[in-house]
Structure 1
Amino acid sequence: MSSLTRTLFRRIGLGFIAGYGYSLIRDQLRYRSLKNSVVVISGGSRGLGLVMAKEFARQGASLALLARDKEELARGQKIIELAVPGTDVLILECDCTKPNQVDNSIDEVMKAFGKIDVVVNNAGIISTAPLENTTKKDFEDSLETHFWAPYYMNRACLPHLKAGARIVNISSVGGLIPVPHLAAYCTGKFALRGYSQSLRLELMKKGIYVTTVCPGLMRTGSARNARVKGQFKKEHAWFSLMASAPLITISAERAAKRIISAIKTGQAEINVSMTSKVGSLMNAHFPGLYADLGSLANLLLPNPTDDIRTTKEGKDAESFITPSILTSMGDRAAEQNNEIPPQTDQLH
């Protein structure tokens, strides 16, 4: 090995050590405990939002959960109180795409707790359909939920946030890479990611740290409540299979732990699963190859139909595939994460 090569490797090694050391010091300086914090979570009644709420509760935080379904909220509250007794949980019926409802809900949070330390924008709509079955309204609904709702939440909360506060915007692997049959969903999540990253640059001067979260496929059980168009049963089947596969998905509990860790240290952006990491790297460095592979994958998905109006929820588009042993992991997650109403009153 020549002296020039040794010098090059030495400099690369020193650069890596310096970068790693900087990250450790930065994380320690920005670290905050979540004990006695007040955490506001939109979409907190089920799925990832509920799992994160339980993890926040274990960290000693008080919770304000916002969602549109009052019964789901009540069930979610009981689930948290059973999992972490003594947790202070405020539930607020709120459609976060309505700015007046958001403002009123945040006023209620301030009346109840007197402060807000962490804001988690988690509310979302998963919609799967061929592009031919996707309408302008589908894109508008995605932007309303994934961009405007976090915008309204952050606008309402920012006057109450002090140095050290956190804003967490839950984007998606669909905010990193395009996915066939998820065009409307990806559009909303890409918008949220751009907004979130810009927000971080503006708010760091106030000591407020914005974290953008880009989960890949998670076993939350959300496929049951996904919106499907086109060949309903086939669309629901392929999405359910992907959302339940053990090798390409991670559990919602594991994802929640990683997100909470990133919140504590004020990280800028995290990719929660291997699928999001690999997909984003391929799309960034080999966009042509990624597009070719994505177009091939699209050929395997259901063909469009002439019906562009009808939308069904996943639970109304089940087939011999869903539920089945092939989707059992996702089905169990749906039961655990309040995606399915209990058959009996099991929460008392």
Structure 2
Amino acid sequence: MRGPTTFPAPPARRRSRRMDGEVVLVTGGSRGLGLRLAHEFGGRGASVAICARGRERLTRAVAELTSQGIDAQGVVCDVTVPEEVEVLPEEVVARFGRLDVLVLNAGIMRVGPWETLTEEHFAQALDSMFLGPLRLVRAAFDPLRESGGRIVTITSIGAYLSVPHLMPYTVAKHAEAALSESLAAESAGTGVRVTTVVPGLMRTGSHRGAVFDGSPEREYAWFALLAGLPLLSVGAGRAARRIADAVERRRGFLVLTPAARLGMAAHGLAPGLVQASMRLMGRVWPDIPSEPRELPGSEAARSLKGRAVGVVTFLNERAAHRLNQVSRTRQTRGVGARR
């Protein structure tokens, strides 16, 4: 039975004291929003533990954090493996002596027409973004209760608006959002507070780690374009600051972008109209080809041609390189994306 492998990092001088003495665990913390959150919490004085499946990226992320004076620990852990999840909080408490904030951020993303997907793809999404968080909350609840801690669930606007060609992701995120809001109610009186975060589009470079089905290059193009539009998306740094502020203030609910707030309001007031809009969107999305294929985002990016696409996706590509989304070695198998 494979358990987590830990890479301890030496203590370093903190740059702020707003969260001095607190310990934060971020799942999916080796890249993307998770890595940006680790920087943000560490910059506020917290000690930070990050977990991820990939040893190489995790090692780079811990080195990056410690170089900024953050007391950081990296733990190799797959949130879909119950045995690893069960001992993860123990590893963190053994290293730091406590646990104050648990950030449920790990996830995978598969983009494509639902007819090209299998039941296994849905099971993988639910395991990563519903059962994994549920198991980890169970394992971490006692140390969180002792510290009067917080649980932070990074859901998605996809939990409330079912965007075409993201069905496994939206189904799993819907379940994760329900889990988070249920935990907020169930944990009353325990001292543990729950913050449900609903991001809209974010420039985290997650398109590089997603898997694209059907017509991979065309699916990649629309996804990368939308995620990188400045007026519709938010940068990872700004998102991380707002999330950390919400944690410090013990807020229960946070929607990150104006577009996401508008979408949620529209769904609440006129769900039929929103559904009609999504149906229209589905009609203009890429059709199913005669020979569907599958490619990880890194491969789809290399296959995609077009100066216009490159210009519009520049901000997201820059985020991908800054947030450890681009592997130093060529990847031959796409397994999903951290947000």
TM-score by length of 1: 0.86
Counterpart position of 1:183: 167
Does structure 1 residue 47 correspond to structure 2 residue 35?
A: no
Q: Could you tell me how far 1:216 is from its partner in structure 2?
A: 0.4
C-alpha distance in structure 2 between counterparts of 1:54 and 1:80, whole Å: 7
Q: 1:96 aligns with which of 79, 98, 105?
A: 79
C-alpha contact (below 8 Å) 2:99/2:147 kept by paired residues: no
Tell whether 2:322 aligns with 1:336. yes
Question: Quick check: 1:64–1:90 contact (8 Å CA) kept in 2?
Answer: yes
Q: Which residue of 1 aligns with 2:149?
A: 165
Out of 188, 203, 207, the position equivalent to 1:223 is 207
Pairing 1:75–2:60 present: yes
Q: Give the Å deviation of 1:88.
A: 1.3
**8 Å Cα contact 2:98-2:147 kept in structure 1:** no
* Partner residue in 2 for 1:14: none
Report the structure number with the largest CA radius of gyration: 1
> By percentage of residues, which structure has more helix?
1
* 1:117 matches 2:103: no
User: Which consecutive aligned stretches of 4+ in structure 1 deviate over 6 angstroms post-superposition?
Assistant: none
1:57 matches 2:42: yes
Q: Give distance in 2, aligned partners of 1:311 and 1:44.
A: 26
Does 1:316 pair with 2:299?
yes
One-letter amino acid of the counterpart of residue 39, structure 1: V
**1:199 counterpart = 2:183:** yes
Q: Which residue, out of 272, 275, 296, partners 2:259?
A: 275
2:271 counterpart of 1:287: yes
Partner of 2:313: 327
**Secondary structure of the corresponding residue to residue 91 of structure 1:** strand
Query: How many Å separate the matches in 2 of 1:265 and 1:193?
Result: 20
Structure 1 SS opposite 2:165:
coil
Q: Residue deviations 1:125-179, cap 9 Å, x none?
A: 1211112112211111110111011111111101111253000111001112111
Return the alpha-carbon distance in structure 2 between the equivalents of residues 259 and 173 of structure 1: 15
Deviation at 1:33, TM superposition (A): 4.7
Contact 1:36–1:60 (Cα < 8 Å) also in 2? yes
Q: Tell me which amino acid in the other structure corresponds to 2:149.
A: A
Q: Corresponding residue for 1:26?
A: none
Q: Partner letter of residue 148 of structure 2?
A: G
The one-character-per-residue Cα deviations of 1:212-266 (angstroms, maximum 9, x if unpaired) are 1110000001101111100010001110001111110010000001100111111
Q: Quote the Cα distance in structure 2 between the aligned partners of 1:66 and 1:306.
A: 40
Deviations 1:278-300 (CA, angstroms, capped at 9, x unpaired): 11111111111111111111111
Residue 132 in 1 paired to residue 118 in 2? no
> What secondary structure is seen at the aligned counterpart in 2 of 1:206?
coil
The code of the aligned residue for 2:315 comes to M
* Larger deviation, residues 132-141 vs 118-127: 132-141
Classify the secondary structure of the residue corresponding to 1:324. Answer: helix
**What's the offset of the Cα at 1:311?**
3.2
Check whether the contact 1:43–1:124 (CA below 8 A) recurs between aligned residues: yes
Listed one character per residue, the Cα deviations across residues 54-103 of structure 1 (whole Å, up to 9, x for unaligned) are 00011100011100000100111122123x22x21110100011111112
Q: Percent identity of the aligned residues? A: 36
- Please give the secondary structure, in 2, of the residue aligned with 1:92: strand
Structure 2 residue matching 1:168: 3-state secondary structure: strand
The answer to whether the 8 Å contact 1:237/1:321 transfers is: no
Q: Counterparts of 1:224 and 1:135 in 2: how far apart (Å)?
A: 22
How many residue pairs get aligned? The number is 309
Shift of 1:342: 5.1
Unmatched segments (≥5 aa) in structure 2: 1-16, 330-339
Q: Which ranges of structure 1 fall in alignment gaps of 5 or more residues?
A: 1-31, 344-348
TM-score normalised to the size of structure 2?
Answer: 0.88
Partner SS, residue 188 of structure 2: helix
Shift of 1:304: 1.4
